Structures are given as C-alpha cells and as structure tokens.
Amino acid sequence: MKIENAMVLAAGLGTRLRPVTNTMPKPLVPIAGKAMIDYGLDALEAAGVTQAVVNVHHFAGQMIDHLSRRNRPEILISDETEALMNSGGGLAKGLRLLGSEPVFVLNADLFWVGERADEKTNLRRLAAFFDPDRMDMAMLCVRLENTTGHNGRNDFSMDADGRLIRFSDGDGEPVVYAGAIAMMPALLDDAPDEAFNLNIYFDRAIAGGRLYGLILEGHWITVGTPEAIAEAEAVIGRLAGAA
C-alpha cells in the first residue's frame, strides 16, 4: 500500500525532560545534533510521504518556525495552543486537515536508527504490511532488547501472524510499541471532539482481533529524561561507527 499522508503527534509538554523543556518543546531537543522530530520527519520523507500534519502546543512558535524550514514533506499545523487534546483527540483533530487516504501516525519524541540502506525502510515495510480489510491499525513494534531509554516494560504480545493483544506473559512474543502506526483516517470518524487517549482505539481493535504489529528493523530510542540524552547519543554514535 502506498501511504503519502501522515500525522505527527508533537504537542506534549515534555515535563519529565525538564529543565531542558523549560525553554523549548520536547520535539526540538537536539539528539546527536538533530532535533528529535526531524528523525521522524526524515523517515516519513524517505517513505514517500508528501504531506504531514504536526500538532503544536508547548512553545508553538518555536515549533512552527522550525517546521517552516522543511520542504518535504509539506507541513500542515494543527494548533492546540488553546487546549491540549491528548493523543486521541490530537490525532482526530489533525486528521481533519487530511483526506481519506491511508496515513502514518508518528510520535515526535520516539525514533529509530540503524536501518539497512539496502532494504526497505521500516515505514515502507509497515505500509506494505497494512491491510485495512483485516486491520484497524498496523503498529511498528520492537523487541525490548533493541530499545534505549524505555521503561523496561512490554506493551503487547504478538502472535505468529502479527496480531496483537495487551502484554500477557507466555502469550506470543512480547513487544514494545515503537510509536508508528498505519491506519485509515475513517477509523476515527466517530471520535469525540474533546481530549481522549488513543488507547481507546487500541483496545477496540484488540477486541475485534484487528490490531496488528510488525517488528522494527534497527534500534529504537526514546528520550524521556535529561539523563537519557547522553544514552541516546551514545547508541547513535556506536551504530554510526559500526555502519
């Protein structure tokens, strides 16, 4: 499946990353000389995405200024400066700026490195895997040993076909949600107008046997605290040296 639209969730306050986020939004925090959000936007560009919505709230002016310097993908702003909409509400609001074609959904503060240049990117693999006839969402997932900065807990259990349920020890392969989804915007047509958590739709998809996952190639990084910045940069440097 070809996916050319995306939504990047970037409006959070980044409270655990204070004092760094006292002066800038979390997605603009530089990791190895590159703003966190640009890892995701570069991945979207490499996957053929031409248009991406980014929601903004904390230091919105800095975000808009930074994003205005990109040519690809084209950036549309979903303004949440008056009120944060949480993950689900923010996604539902942002999707209204796009059409009905399939979309990627990315978290701005999670990213991966170490993809092989001679293989399809993770997002292209996810697009090829996504089948809306049998899936509500296809998630990029990662094994715990291939993460840096994570809390050490698994999110889901994956069966041999890629179907996901909430993590249960002994049920399938334990995996962590890697912050990337392929889905159809129509899935959120019934979403409320107020703030809500996207986990509501994860659980609905699980109940219907329609939440699926694909294992990420490479190494996944999350930066939640100031101390995690050095850990992330060390991993990036090590992988770059091994390439």
Q: Which two tokens stand for residue 227?
A: 């101390």
Domain 5-242 in CATH: superfamily?
Spore Coat Polysaccharide Biosynthesis Protein SpsA; Chain A (3.90.550.10)
Q: 182 and 101 in contact (C-beta within 8 Å)?
A: no
Average pLDDT of the residues in 18-35: 95
**Is the pLDDT at 26 greater than 60, yes or no?**
yes
Distances (CA, A) of 117 to 195, 239, 243: 39, 13, 10
Say what the pLDDT of residue 101 is: 97
Average pLDDT of the residues in 11-22: 91
What pLDDT digit, counting tens, does each position of 196-238 carry? 999 999 999 999 999 999 999 999 999 989 999 999 999 999 8
d(CA 237, CA 242): 9
Which residues are within 8 A (CB) of 220 and not within 5 positions of it... i.e. 6 or more apart?
110, 111, 112, 142, 146, 147, 148, 150, 176, 178
- pTM: predicted TM-score of the whole model, two decimal places: 0.95
- Give the phi and the psi of residue 88 in degrees, each rounded to 5: -75, -45
Polymer length in residues for the chain = 243
152: left (phi over 0), alpha (psi -120 to 50) or beta: left
Say what the pLDDT of residue 232 is: 93
What pLDDT digit, counting tens, does each position of 80-107 carry? 999 899 999 999 999 999 999 999 999 9
d(CA 199, CA 156): 12
